Amino acid sequence: MASSEVEILDDYLFKYKGYVFIRDEVQPEYIDSLENFEIRDSDVFLVTYPKSGTVWTQNIVTMLYESELPPAPPTSDTTFQRMPWLEYIQKDQDIINRPSPRLFASHLGHYLMPQGVKDKQIKVIYVSRNPKDVLVSYYHFAKIMAKLETPKDFDDMLDRFEEGRVICGSWFDHVCGWYNHRDDFNILFLTYEEMIKDLRAAVVKISQFLGKTLDAATIDHVVEKATFGNMKSDPRANYDFLPEDVMDKRQGAFLRKGTVGDWKNTFTVAQSERFDQIFREKMKGLPVQYSWDISEIKQA
Ligand code: A3P
């Protein structure tokens, strides 16, 4: 890796291959090595841009797999252990030599995925969320995460987001990249808003995509465990297990509001109009639509 390919963005982030990583957590050499990461046919990847419902879907997917196992006491494993990150190495965990099926979470762009994900047509679930809610969620997230610079104010956050000076870089590049290359992958697209609208339907969709035939009671159980309220009180699912030096819980919670349209409480009209214009230009022709307000979902 030529060091010139690395661009330091701030005290916490660096850009590499058009993508933005947390400086302390990832080495460019490791990202390079992922191209040849050995993929098994039964692997499953959940891919998202941050703040789009990753933990929510991680929880659902892992529960769908756990529900097939013989009855056992509920595991105390955290979300990171049940579905580890591909790009963030867990010091206490060997993510490669786990028994199949291996479940992985990733925020990577489509072009940084291991080649085997395409070659073997393994299952990828991609969840995206309307970017205004992503932005506001990230704004609060940046305040509680020790490894992210706290934005000066929301204007500053908006600039960073539009310029891609946030983890994973540009939201537009991420979402457009995955949708434009959809034919290269065996992929299920979901939106956060459709999960909010009908969680059960989303769980059934995920379960069918994963080739599971679960009875109605099992699906109901997964849905119940995946509600915002239940996840908020489930330490293994809500990131409360993260130490204080990683996440400062006094400044806020990881499971914050869990709704659609909270951006309206933060964006000014001018900021919203500016963002809409960029959204219209960049998302032209993409086969995805977002709901921007909870009332759209309730009325539908
Ligand atoms: P908010 O900050 O808007 O509340 P990610 O896991 O990708 O970082 O996404 C975090 C966002 O998903 C947070 O959004 C969080 O509250 C929301 N979320 C997590 N679990 C949820 C659930 N069960 N129902 C609804 N939203 C959920």
Residue 173 tokens, joined: 């590049």
Is the pLDDT assigned to residue 93 strictly greater than 90?
Answer: no
Ligand 1 centroid from CA 221, angstroms = 19
Q: Are 300 and 194 in contact (CB under 8 A)?
A: no
Question: Mind listing the pLDDT tens digit for each residue in 153-182?
Answer: 999 999 999 999 999 999 999 999 999 999
For 3-299, the fitting CATH number among 3.40.605.10, 3.40.50.300, 3.20.20.80, 3.40.630.30 is 3.40.50.300
Closest residue CA from atom 12 of ligand 1: 53
Residue 33 tokens, joined: 């090595």
Residue 107 annotated among the catalytic residues of the structure: yes
Question: Mind listing the pLDDT tens digit for each residue in 230-271?
Answer: 999 988 888 888 888 888 888 888 999 999 999 999 999 999
Q: Are 263 and 132 in contact (CB under 8 A)?
A: yes
Residues 223-227 have a mean pLDDT of: 96
Residue 251 confidence (pLDDT): 86
Residue 1 confidence (pLDDT): 47
Residue 70 confidence (pLDDT): 56
Ligand 1 shell residues, CB under 6 Å: 48, 50-56, 133, 137, 140, 226-228, 231, 255-258, 262
Residue 142 tokens, joined: 């940046």
**Torsional class of 49: left (φ above 0), alpha (ψ -120 to 50), beta (otherwise):** beta
The residues spanned by each domain of the chain are 3-299
Ligand 1 centroid from CA 21, angstroms = 21
Question: Mind listing the pLDDT tens digit for each residue in 17-31?
Answer: 999 999 988 999 999
In which band, very low, low, confident or very high, does the pLDDT at 16 lie, cut at 50, 70 and 90?
very high
Ligand 1 centroid from CA 55, angstroms = 7
CA distance 262 to 136: 8
Residues 38-67 have a mean pLDDT of: 96
SS3 category, 88? coil
Size of the chain in residues: 300
Question: Mind listing the pLDDT tens digit for each residue in 96-110?
Answer: 898 999 999 999 999
